[in-house]
Amino acid sequence: MKDYMELDSAAQDMLKELGNIGTGNAITALSAMLGKEIVMECPEVRVVGFNEVPDTLGGMEAIRVGVLVQTGGDISGIFMFLISESFTQVMLEQLLGFPVEAGAYDELASSAIAEVGNIMCCSYINALSSLLGFKVEVSVPEVSRDMVGSLLSVPIIYFADHSDNLLLIEDRYFIDDQSIVSHVLFLPNLESLKRIFSAVGEPYGR
């Protein structure tokens, strides 16, 4: 069975272009939403094994805020936007106009987090649709605050039989003087992975 790691360099370059376009759109939207100038570094787009993801995010016990959206249509799978609590607090203060205690996210705060996560994920989904000519439907976003191991358990268990790897996009940017790092994970299901390979000119399976 074939997975991301068997894509040739041209196909992996296409996935990196997806990350570049999606990040640019996401940061533009986030800047407008927060009313702040955001200085963006070049995103790092990697195909990584499931077992590498926790360390990239600070370890299994690191606390992160996650926004998960499921996709349907031509691409069925999961996009997950992951941010630190410090970034979450900065973001919420800008959006709501008052400080929010770490982890104390009421309905208003959770709604704001969901909206930002939805914008970020949809920026990549729209880039994917544009690059590959796909039609993609998006679910209502789900917000969770938990340890990295817990946040990743459901999507990884659900999709582990489709591929040993996933697409990890790491974004680094500056809001005022604060350095921010966020991550987007993309896990397509088996049929969607086949469509992606076909769209980038890769035969599926061996």
Q: Which domain holds residue 47?
A: 4-56+63-199
37 assigned to some structural domain: yes
pLDDT at position 191: 79
Among 68-77, 89-98, 158-167, the minimum mean pLDDT is found in 158-167
- Tell me which residue of 98, 105, 99 sits closest to 83, measured CA to CA: 105
206 assigned to some structural domain: no
127 assigned to some structural domain: yes
pLDDT in tens, 90-144: 888 888 888 777 777 888 989 999 988 888 888 888 888 888 889 999 999 999 9
Type of residue found at 65 = V
CA-to-CA separations, 42 to 24, 27, 121, 128, 133, in angstroms, rounded: 9, 12, 18, 18, 25
11 assigned to some structural domain: yes
Among 1-5, 64-68, 92-96, 98-102, the minimum mean pLDDT is found in 1-5
180 assigned to some structural domain: yes
Q: What is the rounded average pLDDT of the residues 30-42?
A: 85
More confident residue, 158 or 86: 86
Q: What is the rounded average pLDDT of the residues 33-49?
A: 84
204 assigned to some structural domain: no
Contact, 53 vs 192, CB < 8 A?
A: no
Tally of domains within the chain: 1
Q: What is the rounded average pLDDT of the residues 58-74?
A: 92
205 assigned to some structural domain: no
Integer Cα distance of 83 and 161 in angstroms: 26
